[in-house]
Structure 1
Amino acid sequence: MAHPETQPGGRLIDVELDETIGRATPDVEHERAVAIFDLIEENFFVPAGASADGRFKLKLSLADKRLVFDVRDEAGEAVATHILSLTPFRRVIKDYFLICDSYYEAIRSATPQQIEAIDMGRRGIHNDGSQTLMERLKGKIEVDLDTARRLFTLICVLHWRS
């Protein structure tokens, strides 16, 4: 795997959560940090009209139940602001949390085949959320599927309360 600094194409070099996101339990804060680390570690991210090989900083905040993407360049200059309604994600996030609960419960008592079946369902729902995110960002921010998956994970973790 190429080191992120040498990978071609636009990329996120920093992701910050605004104070509007709010703080959570230490476990959830840890999951948020892991999601951000994974996203920064490997991504493809190009806002419309920006340099295809630019390096960007993303600050996420919440405003009226919408997720605000404040995108800046490496020097901190504004590149774009996109406001994404979270309504299209409500159902898939709820389904994702339900199947994750089933998965963690199954790990304790189910057969390997049952666990694998639940995990396949979990991955399918995660892919649905990632595809929805790519569709919602189309024409605004270009991301590949892996980056959409990492962003969707972060959006889910932002909704995780316990």
Structure 2
Amino acid sequence: MGDDTGTPGDDRLIAITLDEASIERGNPDVEHERAVAVYDLLEENRFQPVGGPKGPYRLMLSIRENRLVLDVADEAGERIVAHILSLSPLRKVVKDYFLICESYFTAIRQAAPAQIEAIDMGRRGVHDEGSRILMERLEGKIAVDHDTARRLFTLICALHFKG
């Protein structure tokens, strides 16, 4: 199986901590999105700090002065690197995502299945756009695949909009 050189499965997150000091509890929909994104992200992800040691990794996410802080540690909890990204490039897409999510959550309570499906397609499109921007912002810092970027984008939304 694995050897001292590491395996591709080592380049993954095994723990995610959300900084309580920079996050307020959200409404049930936001909390649900956050919990699902964390669960999905930990179940399957590709995450590798560029030029860093082999994983697996622990990640602490926080928001400080409109900047996303990704504090990456090794399996034992020793800090490897912290990357600070401006959230300004994501501001519009995050706003659009939350507006469409609000419509989606309202629709699943009272709309016809066809309406729910149409809103969900729009939500996925905006989510993909946010994921692409996030991957661009992480380029040269942290290598992630598309699915990992999508799940990280969901977490960023949950952090940025405090409910």
The alpha-carbon deviation at position 19 of structure 1 amounts to 3.1
1:24 match: secondary structure = coil
Identify if the C-alpha distance between structure 1 residues 32 and 109 changes in structure 2 by more than 3 Å, giving closer, same or farther: closer
The alpha-carbon deviation at position 62 of structure 1 amounts to 2.1
Corresponding residue of 1:84: 85
Q: Distance in 1 between matches of 2:108 and 2:26?
A: 23
The alpha-carbon deviation at position 78 of structure 1 amounts to 2.0
CA-to-partner distance for each residue in 1:54-104, whole Å, 9 max, x for gaps? 200111122221011111111222211100111111111111111112222
| Alignment RMSD | 2.0
Q: Does 1:38 align with 2:6?
A: no
Write the mapping of 1:4-153 to structure 2, written as runs, cut at 5 A.
Answer: 8-25=9-26, 27=28, 28-51=30-53, 53-153=54-154
Q: TM-score, normalised by structure 1?
A: 0.86
List alignment gaps of at least 5 residues for structure 2: 1-6
> Aligned AA for 1:78?
R
> Aligned AA for 2:64?
A
List alignment gaps of at least 5 residues for structure 1: 1-5
> Aligned AA for 1:54?
G
Greater shift, 113-122 or 22-31, is seen at 22-31
Identify if the C-alpha distance between structure 1 residues 98 and 70 changes in structure 2 by more than 3 Å, giving closer, same or farther: same
Q: Distance in 1 between matches of 2:31 and 2:93?
A: 22
Corresponding residue of 1:3: none
Q: Distance in 2 between matches of 1:88 and 1:20?
A: 23
Equivalent residue pairs, number: 156
CA-to-partner distance for each residue in 1:32-71, whole Å, 9 max, x for gaps? 33322221111100001124x5200111122221011111
The alpha-carbon deviation at position 160 of structure 1 amounts to 3.5
The alpha-carbon deviation at position 26 of structure 1 amounts to 6.7
